[in-house]
């Protein structure tokens, strides 16, 4: 009996660790997808801050000013902090949430 209790505890801890690792991986992937970008004034596509030419329309871009860089950095930091606060849990299936309805 004691053997089964220990086995159950080990399996529970392993599943819990795996789910935390998965959430951490998802958070890291979301952070990697966020880039410091600005909007092209000609075609309104997002382009990287370091770009000298828009890859969509070919417009030559002026370097970012200090104010633009500060705004972009603030938006980037805000997005990263939003990702850190997110929880990556599976949404519940809404089909089975209402128990009052006959099936």
Is 60 exceeded by the pLDDT of residue 48? yes
- Per-residue confidence (pLDDT) for residue 100, from 0 to 100: 56
Residues 6+ apart with CB under 8 A from 89: 23
Tally of CB atoms within 10 A around 47:
20
Region 9-30 average pLDDT: 75
- Per-residue confidence (pLDDT) for residue 96, from 0 to 100: 55
- Per-residue confidence (pLDDT) for residue 60, from 0 to 100: 92
Question: What is the percentage of the chain residues whose pLDDT exceeds 70?
Answer: 77
- Per-residue confidence (pLDDT) for residue 53, from 0 to 100: 92
With the CA atoms of 47, 30, 90 and 94 taken in that order, what torsion angle do they form, in degrees rounded to the nearest 10? -20
């Amino acid at each position: 009996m004691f053997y089964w209790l220990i086995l159950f505890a080990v399996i529970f801890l392993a599943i819990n660790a795996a789910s935390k690792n998965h959430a951490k991986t998802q958070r890291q992937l979301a952070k990697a997808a966020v880039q410091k970008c600005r909007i092209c004034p000609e075609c309104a596509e997002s382009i990287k801050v370091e770009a000298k030419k828009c890859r969509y329309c070919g417009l030559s871009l002026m370097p970012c000013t200090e104010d633009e860089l500060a705004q972009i950095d603030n938006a980037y930091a805000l997005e990263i902090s939003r990702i850190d606060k997110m929880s990556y849990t599976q949404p519940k299936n809404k089909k089975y949430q209402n128990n009052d309805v006959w099936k």
